Amino acid sequence: MTPGPPCGPMAAAYYPRVASTLQLATLPDDLLASPDDQSSPLFLDYVGQTDMAPFRVPMPIDWNYEEDVGTVV
């Protein structure tokens, strides 16, 4: 694999700035446990049968809005 450009300066300065601007957050536990969300628990069960560790990807989603609406997209 060909190495890409160094990402140290980007990771140190710009990625945190973008994350802050976009207000990145991960899926809250209460939405993960919602009966409306069937795919996430299935995925976690599947990953649990492997040697991989699941993680929640930070996304620019207003989770408070999702909780107010009562559905998970």
- Per-residue pLDDT tens for 13-37? 888 888 889 989 998 888 888 888 8
Instruction: Give 66's contacts (C-beta < 8 A, 6+ positions apart).
Output: 31, 72, 73
Q: Is the pTM of this model over 0.85?
A: no
Collapsing DSSP to helix, strand or coil, 25 comes out as strand
Q: What are phi and psi of 59, to 5 degrees?
A: -135, 155
DSSP 59: B
DSSP 57: P
Q: Give the number of C-alpha atoms closer than 13 A to the C-alpha of residue 57, restricted to the C-beta side.
A: 3
Report pLDDT for 70: 59
Domain residue limits, the chain: 9-69
